[in-house]
Amino acid sequence: MNAKGKKKRKDLFILLIVVILLGILVPIPYYIEGPGSTVQLNELVKVNNKTDQEAGHFMLTTVAIRRATPLTYFMRYLPFHEGLTKEELYGTGTSDAEYTNLQHYYMTSSINSAIELAYDAAEESYQLSYNGVYIMSILEGSDFDDKLEVGDTILSLDGQTFASSAEFIDYVQQQSIDQKIEVVYERDGKKHTTSGKLMEMPETKKAGLGISLVDNTSIETDIPVAIDAGEIGGPSAGFMFALQIYTQLTGEDLRDGHEIAGTGTIAPDGTIGRIGGIDKKVVAASKEGASIFFAPDDTIDPVIQANYPDMTSNYQEALKAAKKIDTKMKIVPVKTFQDAIDYLEGL
């Protein structure tokens, strides 16, 4: 081979390496969702400054979300994987920071609900505090669009504080559209003040700030409880956190040595709610060696069912996934926290 041929071959080799590196390293505006990990909750939860030492574990399950590259994009065709655009994952107009804030809020809120439920069920005392209104999103056209941010907590309006988001909304709706209002809010632990005009809310035709909101609460307990969720976000671990806390509060050995995974939101009244990606969580739990998997047996609203006739409950989705991977793990339907306790007491 002459010198010119060698140079051409070398150039082609370098080009191939560059193409491969670009395919592996350069991100594209697309995400791959697939089975994540399982986490043993005795590693995250301490009650009365103690960890759970009983045999077996309660485990939360996660979904893994990865930014795609030109090569990893094709993972979307693997079993139990799917591709999502940024808008599908984050929601229209939501930034990375706003998405992270929302996931953090969902986790904090689910932990508070888990503590409240577990302490109620174990008949232990706690104190729930209302901290203000947490901003979930800001509508286009709101006068506060460039003043407030997702993740801010509104503490007062025109110097008035409120005991709930219902009181907050009632006060705002009594004001006039285009009326100027002073807002005191907290961001990153610091108080700030701003003001702006109220807008006409599309749904109610009444005055509003142009935000969606939820209650920002905190909880204190006489028996100390500490939960370190790390980088895990979202609301879907609430039910399993409640099981872990309740078990440690009562001292009951509910697991009987089993490895028990599960998922589901939790409400203070014990209702277990639907979550996304349960098929992927079934795969993750089975790989980790779980013998039992708790799945929300949610009832689908008739209106939603009419619009999405193929939608099934989380329990049915979990059963389908378990059958597909031929796991020996038992899928257990639960509608309420008490359903799970009753099942565990029968082990």
pLDDT digits (tens, 9 = 90+) for 298-326: 998 888 888 889 999 999 999 999 999 99
Residue with tokens 């979930």: 136
Class level of CATH domain 30-125+222-345? alpha beta
Q: What is the mean pLDDT of residues 134-163?
A: 92
Which of 95-109, 132-146, 323-337 is modeled with the greatest confidence? Answer: 323-337
Q: How confident is the model at residue 265 (pLDDT cuts 50, 70, 90)?
A: very high
Residue boundaries of the structural domains of the chain:
30-125+222-345, 128-218
Mean pLDDT, the chain, integer = 90
- Of residues 294 and 217, more confidence is placed in 294
Q: Is 281 a catalytic residue?
A: yes
- The secondary structure of the chain, three-state, reads CCHHHHHHHHHHHHHHHHHHHHHHHCCCCEEEEEEEEEEEHHHCEEECCECCCCCCEEEEEEEEEEECCCCHHHHHHCCCCEEEEHHHHHCCCCCHHHHHHHHHHHHHHHHHHHHHHHHHHCCCCEEEEEEEEEEEEECCCCCCCCCCCCCCEEEEECCECCCCHHHHHHHHHCCCCCCEEEEEEEECCEEEEEEEECEECCCCCCEECCEEEEEEEEEEECCCEEECCCCCCCCCCHHHHHHHHHHHHHCCCCCCCCEEEECCEECCCCEEECCCCHHHHHHHHHHCCCCEEEEECCCCCHHHHHHCCCCCCHHHHHHHHHHHHCCCCEEEEECEHHHHHHHHHCC
Architecture of the domain whose range is 128-218: Roll (2.30)
Mind listing the pLDDT tens digit for each residue in 235-246? 899 999 999 999
Q: Is 197 a catalytic residue?
A: no
Phi/psi class of residue 126: alpha, beta or left (left: φ > 0; alpha: ψ in -120 to 50)? beta
- Do the domains 128-218 and 30-125+222-345 match in fold? no
Residue in 113, 236, 286, 313 annotated catalytic: 236
Residue in 110, 281, 313, 335 annotated catalytic: 281
